[in-house]
Amino acid sequence: KELRQRFMAPPVSGLRELRRRRRELRTRMELLIMETQAEMCRALADLDPGASFAVDSWERKEGGGGISCVLQDGEVFEKAGVNVSVVSGFLSEEAARQMRSRGKSLKGKDGKLPFCAMGVSSVIHPKNPHVPTMHFNYRYFEIEEADGTKQWWFGGGTDLTPTYLNEEDAIHFHKTLKEACDKHDLKLYPKYKKWCDDYFYIKHRGERRGIGGIFFDDVDSPSKEEVFQFVKSCAKAVVPCYIPIVKKHCHDSFTPEEKLWQQLRRGRYVEFNLVYDRGTKFGLLTPGSRIESILMSLPLTARWEYMHNPPESSKEAEILEVLRNPKDWVH
C-alpha cells in the first residue's frame, strides 16, 4: 500500500515479482526510476496547480511495459513528460548493430540476444521563454549472451536548454550536478560534463542543444553496486537542480519577440532529438515500442524560419555564443 501511494502507478513488474527478487539490482533500479518519476511529477504539479498529469500505463506484447505521465497546456508548462519503461525480449538486429558499433561484443544464440532494459526519461517544455527546457534520463541495460554470461551497463544524464542565458541559473544547475558526482569521484563531473557537451551537438548547425550538464553511457565499472549508487545520487539531484529555476522565472514577463525566439530554439531541440539522439533511435528500432512515449520529448509547438540570424550583441546572440563555445560554469 505504501509503495502504491509513493508511485504514480503500480510498478511494471508487479509488486509480487519485485518482492520475489527484491535483492536483485534490477529490482532496486526499477524502484528508483519509479520514485524519481513520482518525485518529479509531484514537484512539477505543485508549480502548475491548474494542470494535472495524465497517467498512462501500457504493456508491450514482446515483454514489459511502461508508465507515461504527461502534462499538457498548463499555465507554467506547455508540455512536461516523465516516462518509465521496463522492457525485455530479444534485441532487434538494428539495435544490436548500433551497440556493436559502440564496441560491444555481443554473441547471441541462434542469432537471438535476450535483453532487459529499464529507465526513467523526462523532457519539460515551459511556456515562459525565461524558464529553460530540461531533460534527464537514467537507465540500466542487461544482455544475456549465448554462454549464459550477462553484460550490463548504466547510462544517463541531466541537461539544461535555456532560450536566454542566465549565468546564475547555469551555475546553480551545474553546481548541483557536480555535488552529486563529487560524492563518488571528483573526476566524474568534468568527464561527464565534457561528454554531455560533445553528445548534445547538432553537427549540421555547429552548436550544442543547450548549456549541458552531465551525460554518460556504457558505464560498467568499478562495480554494479557502486555505479548504481552513483546513478541514484544523480537521479536525486534532478529536482533540486531544476525546480528552483522554474520557481524563480515562471512569472517573469516576456515579449512576443522573446516567445518567437523560444519557438526557433525548440526547432533546434527537435532537430537533435530526431536526427542524433541515441535513445530515440533505439526506441524506434525496438519492436513493439510505444511511439507516443518515445516522441513525448517533442514540444507542442516549434518554428523554423529560413536563414534566421539574430542581431549582433543581442540577448539571442549571447546564448548562441555559449552554444557554440561551451563554458566551465563551476570554476
In terms of Cα–Cα distance, which of 136, 208, 209 is closest to 176? Answer: 136
Q: What is the residue-level pLDDT of the chain in tens, covering all 331 positions?
A: 677 678 999 999 988 888 898 888 999 999 999 999 999 999 999 999 989 999 999 998 889 999 999 999 999 999 999 999 999 888 766 676 777 667 666 666 666 788 889 999 999 999 999 999 999 999 999 888 777 778 899 999 999 999 999 999 999 999 999 999 999 999 999 999 999 999 999 999 999 999 999 999 999 999 999 999 999 999 999 999 999 999 999 999 999 999 999 999 999 999 999 999 988 887 887 777 788 888 999 999 999 999 999 999 999 999 999 999 999 999 8
Beta bridge partners of 89: 115
As a CATH number, domain 1-303+310-324 is: 3.40.1500.10
Residues with catalytic roles:
135
Residues present in the chain in total: 331
Q: Where are the domains of the chain?
A: 1-303+310-324
Separation between Cα atoms, residue 176 and residue 290, nearest integer Å? 33
Side chain identity at residue 70, one-letter code: V
pTM above 0.85, yes or no: yes
